[in-house]
Structure 1
Amino acid sequence: MKQVLELFGFVALMQGALGLVHEFTHWHVGLVQRIGFLDGYEVFASVALVLLAFALFAVAERRESD
């Protein structure tokens, strides 16, 4: 379970970071800007993904290895 949480945390961190990179450099990377209902809220969604990633890493750290 710990590895699954770390994997989801890594994916959330990468997508959040790539969303922020897209917003500030206009490179076409990440999935956040491709989700239609997030139009206009891409920065907030990217920051939320980064925060979610840190929360998942914290939960994974507290769990014992399975």
Structure 2
Amino acid sequence: MKQLLEGAGLLALLQGAAGLLHEFTDLHWGLVQRVGVLDGYEIYASVALLVLSVALFAAAESQKS
């Protein structure tokens, strides 16, 4: 379960960082900008993914080995 939470946290971290990089640079990578529902809210969604990744890493750390 710990590896699953860490993997999901890593994925959320990468997608959140890619979304912010897409907004502030010309890097066209990641899934946040491709979701039509999020048009105009890409920065908020990317920050939410970063916060989610921190929460997933904290949940993974609280799990027993």
TM range, smaller chain: over 0.9
Aligned equivalents of 1:12, 1:46: Cα separation in 2: 9
| Deviation for aligned residue 1:56 | 0.2
Mapping of residues 1-66 of structure 1, within 5 Å: 1-65=1-65
What runs of 5+ residues in structure 2 fail to find an aligned partner?
none
Identity of aligned residues (%): 65
Q: Deviations over 1:2-41 (max 9, x none)?
A: 0000000000000000000000002111100000000000
Aligned equivalents of 1:51, 1:27: Cα separation in 2: 21
What runs of 5+ residues in structure 1 fail to find an aligned partner?
none
* Equivalent pairs, count: 65
Supply the AA of the counterpart residue of 2:5: L
Supply the AA of the counterpart residue of 2:58: A
Aligned equivalents of 1:36, 1:26: Cα separation in 2: 19
Aligned equivalents of 1:22, 1:29: Cα separation in 2: 7
Query: Runs of 4+ in structure 1 displaced over 6 angstroms?
Result: none
Supply the AA of the counterpart residue of 2:39: D
